[in-house]
Structure 1
Amino acid sequence: MRFRAPAHHAGVTSRIGTWLGIAFGLCFLTGLISHGVQHDWPWPARPAGLYRVTQGVHVLSGVASIPLLLAKLWSVYPKLFERPPVRNVPHALERGSILVLVAAAFFELVTGLFNAAQNYPWPFYFPTAHYAVAWIVTGALLVHIAVKIPVIRRSLEPASDERTILSRRAFLRTTALTAGVAVVTTAGVTVPWLRKVSVLAWRSDGALPVNRTAKAANVVVPPDWRLKAGGKTYSLAELRAMPQTTVELPIACVEGWSQNATWTGVRVADLVSGGDVRVESLEKDGLYRASTLPEVFARDPLTLLALRLDGEELSPDHGYPCRLIAPNRPGVLQTKWVTSLEIL
């Protein structure tokens, strides 16, 4: 019998593949949620931090998938160089589907990491490409599982050799530990109590992060700025004179980071009522210069046209003179530099 190192045993591959399938499944489902929220799918206003959780799970399950994918490839790499490379048509189709799965998985994980760092060294639009390839990964993964079910069942049967068992377990423990360390060292971006140990966390230095500055958005607030809302116009002084509400809500970004802040301003329901609301910004050409606020959010008492952040007047980068803040919404839809609220 030919000797196989523990890492290259089918049982190891099957177990790591199971973990990887769970991680990919979580990443796909939470990514689907994020895509839907940004494209006006029905989504509740409460609980206020639900999107923070789903998007945090999306990014962290993607982080965990990186060492799991590498370990799985390591466990099967001898088969990648088998001769002959293609034995028959079914074998060719199987190997082709694996190639698609691996290539698409690497595309998702690598571009996802670049997106978290807000670095886009490619000509395509990241959200569209990332969403489309996610379906390819999921379809290829389901096909792969369906083809390999008999092998998976056999390989998960208990081994009789104690030394083999211990060696496989050591490799699996190392893989699980590596994935766990990857998650813990980055989870501080969205889990506050882990920020002191998350040495690889991005945007967790305490200050509320800014994705797009006023300068980058080319926003200049005119001296005679007025807000258009509900058939009326308001100056900044008039908005400040209205009843003010203070809430604590997170900004939860699609890049995975989230952070709580205290916001003070006028309830949107006190300015407009009666349906979905179109929120327009002073920004002229940004992808998210405007957003649609569904009625369930517009009527929620936590949804504000914020004038102050943590007790201070909004800075230009945080949306001065006023910005939208609503519960359970992606940060890209929390429109800054608001100039009008229009009932649709």
Structure 2
Amino acid sequence: MPLPTPPEALRRGPLREGAFRSRLHDPRTAVVIGRWLGAALLVCFLTGLYSHVLQDPPAWLRDHLSARPAGLYRFTQGAHVISGIAAIPLLGAKLWTVYPRLFEWPPARGVRHALERLGILLLVAAMALELFTGLLNTLQWYVWPFPFRQTHFWLAWIAVGGLLLHLAVKAPEIVAHWRRPRPELSQRRGFLTAVTASVLAVTAVTAGQTVPWLRRIDLLAPRRPDIGPQGLPVNRTAAAAGTAQPPVNWRLKVVGPASYELTMDELRAMDQHEAVLPISCVEGWSASAQWAGVRIRDLVARAGAPPTARLRITSMEVDGPYRETEMEAAYAADPLTLLALRVNGEVLDTDHGYPARVIAPGRPGVLQTKWVDRIEVIV
């Protein structure tokens, strides 16, 4: 169904014919930038989905999660943040390439064309909001009233759905301009070189928070993995959690078929084990340390629980979304999973979870519960 044609008198400014003369506002440039942006968004989406599943696994998947390799989450979440940051200049370049189409005349040639343009508006809005909130999350700066993780998750699905629909509509044009034309425009080569340089630059000065060999040029990343108490960063301090003064009579409660309690001296008298494991946070930074403490599986076995038991771990912090966390059996039974009492040869700093904290391979940092005072078996 065609829509009424707007009068020619409205064609002013960017709406006038010939308002955009750059030869780079063409389908070939859009396709090349779109390929790069699509690759970054695919990596970002898949790694973000993995992080979400680890933090909130569906019931059918809980028994199939694995604690190994120990550094997997460090890699995937680092890739998530790196690809998300790289997507920002790519999205800007893509929008610059196609924005003259916002001023097409007539604005809508029919109902189908109008719906297509509305779909593109939804896609761009979802992508921009997803990348913007994700960037602010790396800074732990939450200027919105809605919960970040859930909103970020559903925005990702909206963006991916809109992207797939857009690719389906534009498939013939994408195929037609996929191969490099001969001769290639020198302006296009220069533009693509500039975009590549900007992506590499923004990646190089932020990726050092998770890539050790880039740490010397880690100029714009919000975290330095080697700065903080005992050489480790801190996201949530003991003061913020309300645990700055742990009780002098602290006791660890282990609840199961044969419940018991342990004082700090009794914990220290148990077999102590060491493990070099990373703390890998959803904001993208990660840092390895040498942890020492009691194996979680030894505490669970002493409570009379089977190796297949899942756990609920409770922190002394006053409130917060991760005051209680659940640990799947694969992590609880892993010999590297510790109730850590020491880090890098020192008693835990209060900001790192004194008197005791969880450290396990392959888990997000938000699930490495600090200030632990209760471990409950939930078979």
TM-score, with length taken from structure 2: 0.87
Give 1:24's match in structure 2, choosing from 41, 64, 77: 41
Alpha-carbon distance in structure 2 between the residues aligned to 1:157 and 1:238: 69
What residue in structure 2 maps to residue 209 of structure 1? 233
C-alpha separation between the residues in 2 aligned to 1:116 and 1:340? Answer: 30
- The more displaced of 108-117 and 221-230 is 221-230
CA distance in 2, matches of 1:37, 1:113: 21
2:185 is aligned, of 165, 180, 184, to 165
Among 273, 289, 311, the residue aligned to 2:323: 289
Residue pair 2:210, 2:225 contacting (<8 A) in 1 also: no
Partner of residue 241 from structure 1, selected from 260, 269, 278: 269
Deviations 1:61-116 (A, max 9, x none): 10010000000011111111112111111110111111001100010011001100
**Residues 6, 12 of structure 1: 8 Å contact kept:** no
Amino acid at match of 1:192: P
Other-structure match for 2:175: 153
In the alignment, the residues of structure 2 paired with residue 285 and residue 158 of structure 1 have an alpha-carbon distance, to the nearest angstrom, of 57
Indicate conservation of the 8 Å contact 1:280/1:289, yes or no: yes
Deviation at 1:5, TM superposition (A): 2.3
Q: 2:355 aligns with which of 321, 325, 329?
A: 321
Letter paired with 2:153: Y
**Which consecutive residues of structure 2, in runs of 5 or more, have no partner in the other structure?**
1-17
Q: Say which SS state the counterpart of residue 241 (structure 2) adopts.
A: coil
> Helix, strand or coil: the match of 1:216?
helix
CA distance in 2, matches of 1:225, 1:286: 21
Q: Residue in 1 aligned with 2:153?
A: 131
Contact map agreement 1:13 1:72 (CA 8 A) in 2: yes
2:79 to 57, 62, 65: 57
Gaps of 5+ in 1: none
Compute the displacement of 1:165 (Å).
2.5
Matched, 1:84 2:106: yes
Among candidates 10, 32, 49, match of residue 15 of structure 1: 32
* C-alpha separation in 2, matches of 1:121 and 1:74: 27
Check conservation: 2:209, 2:225, Cα contact below 8 A: no
Aligned equivalent of 2:293: 265
CA distance in 2, matches of 1:299, 1:86: 61
**CA distances 1:283-326 after superposition (whole Å, capped 9, x unpaired):** 13211011111111111110000000111101111100000000
Q: 1-side partners of 2:291 and 2:21: how far apart?
A: 60
Partner AA of 2:253 in structure 1: K
Following the alignment from structure 1 to structure 2, what is the Cα–Cα distance between the partners of residues 12 and 4?
14
Q: What is the percentage of aligned positions where both structures have the same residue?
A: 53
Q: Look up the SS of the partner of 1:224 in the other structure.
A: coil
For residue 218 of structure 1, report the CA deviation from its aligned partner: 0.9
Please state whether the residue corresponding to 2:35 is helix, strand or coil: helix
Q: Which residue of 1 aligns with 2:11?
A: none
- Residue 211 of structure 1 aligns to a residue whose secondary structure is coil
1:247-274: CA deviations, max 9, x gaps?
A: 1100000111111111110111111132
Match of 1:72 in 2: 94
* Greater Cα offset, 273-282 or 62-71: 273-282
Letter in 1 for 2:76: T
Indicate the larger mover: 165-174 or 304-313.
Answer: 165-174
Partner of 2:144: 122
SS in 2 for 1:264: strand
**Matched residue count:** 341
Structure-to-structure mapping, 1:180-191, within 5 angstroms: 180-191=200-211
Secondary structure of the corresponding residue to residue 266 of structure 1: strand
Question: What stretches of structure 1 move > 4 A for 4+ residues in a row?
Answer: none
Pick from 235, 244, 253 the counterpart of residue 228 of structure 1: 253
Is the alpha carbon distance of 1:205 and 1:127 closer, same or farther for their aligned partners in structure 2, counting shifts above 3 Å? closer
For 1:153 and 1:296, the matched residues in 2 are separated by 46
8 Å Cα contact 1:6-1:171 kept in structure 2: no
Distance in 1, matches of 2:132 and 2:348, equals 35
For residue 370 of structure 2, what is the aligned residue in structure 1? 336
Which residue pairs with 2:313 in the alignment? 279
1:183 CA drift (Å): 1.1
State the partner residue of 1:306. 340
- SS at 1:179's partner residue? helix
Structure 1 CA distance, aligned partners of 2:180 and 2:70?
A: 46
User: What residue in structure 1 maps to residue 4 of structure 2?
Assistant: none
Distance (Å, rounded) in 1 between the aligned partners of 2:95 and 2:197: 17
